[in-house]
Amino acid sequence: MAVLVILFGAYAIVDGLLAVYVGLRSGDNQRWTLVLEGIVGIAAGLVAFFWPALTALALLLVIAAWAILTGIVEIVMALRLRRLIKNEWAMILSGALSVIFGVLLVAQPGAGALAVVWLIGTYAVIFGVAILALAWHLRELQGAPDQAPAGARQTRAA
């Protein structure tokens, strides 16, 4: 978990610095949102470095709360949609598993931390591959404006 906190801190600081850089170089009227996002990221990274135990516990509790609340919402949604959808039991099951996962994180933070490390690692790999695929696709569109999505062409003309 300590390594996860350090990696999170480093990621948050680098991501924050890049967001501030892009925000300051942007000519957009909304650039302040990127600068603000960057400042928050830098602050989160610094908190992770200076208070790693607090960061680890807070991270676990946030994930636990998120899992419990989204699980409850999924269960309620499945019950409300049971006349409109088939196999609502799958949605109820996934909601129940989310609630159980959240409760286990709170009850057993040590085991929960290990599970979270594996989940975040898996997510990071999948997310990284998806972002690379998007980047390659965008690079292909870079020199071909007639291949841009219809909404993008309308925006340029407006």
Separation CA 65–CA 98 (nearest Å): 10
Tens digit of each residue's pLDDT (9 = 90 or more) over 79-97 = 888 888 777 888 889 889 8
Buried b (16+ CB within 10 A) or exposed e, 137-156: eeeeeeeeeeeeeeeeeeee
On whether the pTM is more than 0.75, the answer is: no
What confidence score (pLDDT) does residue 158 get?
A: 46
What confidence score (pLDDT) does residue 36 get?
A: 92
Place of tokens 């006349």: 83
